[in-house]
Homo-oligomer: A and B are copies of this chain.
């Protein structure tokens, strides 16, 4: 069965966490909005009033007659099916908890350029963005990186992965969030990552996984840009 991923065609955004899992799993999938219909494809879906389980927002994944929205829920679904989550229930829940915390970090990252809401352009909320980004750079990024580093250091099965001895969807997502923060806040991240050697190592490990490396070098990987979640505005990285 071919999975159908529905997400904005022009950005990595939250969809990228799902794309990385699908790519790493070598799963058969179509990124629907990047086909001929473009973003209309998921718009029509969202407006369909007859769905029993309507998605609130993209990304969402269709697997036959199952439609799942919410990035973390999609990954929970895919993880068990493609060896990207531990078998053990307790570890599986722990991976999910880490993923939910990564989701919080993603939301906070978005809020650095959109503190007043997604209905206004960045240029309409720039003074507010400057204030919010300062706190994010000085307090939040270090706090999150310290937490990830602690988890890696405390993993009883070795510090190569967040949970257990092999990569889970949370490792792929941590790779992505570090990539994104590096794009958006290069100066801040360069300084902050000095205290997080295991996070740096994980980022490298994931980037070298054969399917991920091949994906990152392909045209399927959309480049970071200033319409997504991770945006490079130099004034926010002072």
* Interfacial residues, chain A to chain B (CB-CB below 8 A): 49-54, 56, 66, 68-70, 72-73, 76-77, 90, 93-94, 96-97, 100-101, 104, 107, 111, 115-117, 119, 128, 131-132, 135-136, 139, 144, 147, 150-151, 154-156
Contact = CB atoms under 8 A, between A and B. Distances in A.
B76 A93 contact: yes
Given A54-B151, A56-B147, A119 B139 contact: yes
A132 B120 CA distance: 10
A128 B100 contact: no
Contact of A93 (B52, B73, B136, B150): B73
Contacts of A115: 111, 115-117, 128, 132
Contacts of A132: 115-117
A162 to B, nearest CB: 10
B117 A136 contact: yes
A53 B116 contact: no
Contacts of A97: 53, 68-70, 73
A184 to B, nearest CB: 17
26 contacts: A50-B154, A52-B154, A52-B155, A53-B94, A53-B151, A54-B147, A54-B151, A54-B154, A56-B104, A56-B144, A56-B147, A66-B90, A68-B97, A69-B101, A72-B72, A72-B100, A73-B93, A73-B97, A76-B96, A116-B131, A116-B132, A116-B135, A117-B135, A119-B135, A119-B139, A128-B128
Contact of A73 (B50, B100, B117, B150): B100
A5 B115 CA distance: 31
Contact of A77 (B54, B76, B93): B93
A121 B186 CA distance: 29
A205 to B, nearest CB: 21
B100 A54 contact: no
A146 to B, nearest CB: 10
